[in-house]
A = this chain, B = another copy of it.
Amino acid sequence: MTTASFERPILTVDVVLLALLEQGRLHVALSPRPSDPFKGKLALPGGFVHTDKDRNTVDSARRILADKLGFAPSHLEQAFTESGPKRDPRGWSASVVYLALHPAAQLAPLQADGRVQLFDIDSLPRLAFDHLLLVEQAVKRLRAKAAYTSIAAHLLPREFTIPQMQTAFEQVTGQQVNAANFRRKILETGALKETRMVPAAYRPAQAYRLVEPLTDFGYNLF
């Protein structure tokens, strides 16, 4: 290997933080960039990996969310790494993209005090860098995974009813499923643990919480 005439690339982490707003549509968290490049343009929460503190890139993602938004998402997973010479005007860069999910309710305060803005993923404004592409790819991954795992439950409060979960599932995947069959399959997986009864619109409903890690359904739900 010849010694090189190339610079070290930039390494960043970007987080595609998604929430399901009341109207039931997926929204992504964006904030205007505080500085150049793309000063003032909307962008994903992201930043450089801090080699002095971060033990790895998930750590970076958590630190960035804590610093910029002041909270820890209920689900965070690595999605993919995007790279190239042109995606950041500062130079050749690679960005490790994380997919984060969180209940919408807890995002409202952040939105109120202007730390983030939530945008419907189907009508995004122009974004800084290649962040539009990053959002699209992350959403695609969520939709795929929602079809055969309990991942969509992370968009709900920690306690939720089965009809709520079904709604979240349907809104993420865009597919309708039969309520009786959804209930049967999801309970069979053992992904849920009963908690308490909660008042619902009419008849009260049994609430559940996720029983730790992502469980997959028998296979696909449709």
- Report how far A59 CA is from B34 CA in the complex, Å: 33
Residues of B within 8 A of A92 (CB): 49, 51
Task: Using CB atoms, name the residue of chain B closest to A84.
Answer: B56
Q: Are A57 and B81 in contact (CB under 8 A)?
A: yes
Beta-carbon contacts of A27-47 to B below 8 Å, as 1s and 0s? 000000011000000000001
Q: How many copies of the polypeptide does the oligomer hold?
A: 2
Per DSSP, chain A at the interface is loop
Q: Are A9 and B51 in contact (CB under 8 A)?
A: yes
A118: shortest Cβ distance to chain B, in Å? 22
A 122-175 contacts with B by CB, 8 A? none
Number of A residues, CB within 8 Å of B:
35
Residues of B within 8 A of A210 (CB): none
Instruction: Tell which of B11, B53, B57, B85 touches A8, judged by Cβ atoms closer than 8 Å.
Output: B11
Q: Are A51 and B1 in contact (CB under 8 A)?
A: no
A22 within 8 A of B: no
List residues of chain A with CB under 8 Å of any chain B CB: 1, 4-11, 34-35, 47-53, 55-57, 67, 78, 80-85, 91-92, 94, 96, 219-220
Q: A9-B51, A11-B94, A219-B219 are in contact. List 20 more A-B contacts (CB 8 A).
A: A1-B67, A5-B52, A6-B48, A6-B49, A6-B51, A6-B52, A7-B51, A8-B9, A8-B11, A8-B51, A9-B11, A9-B49, A49-B92, A51-B85, A55-B85, A56-B84, A57-B81, A57-B83, A78-B80, A94-B96
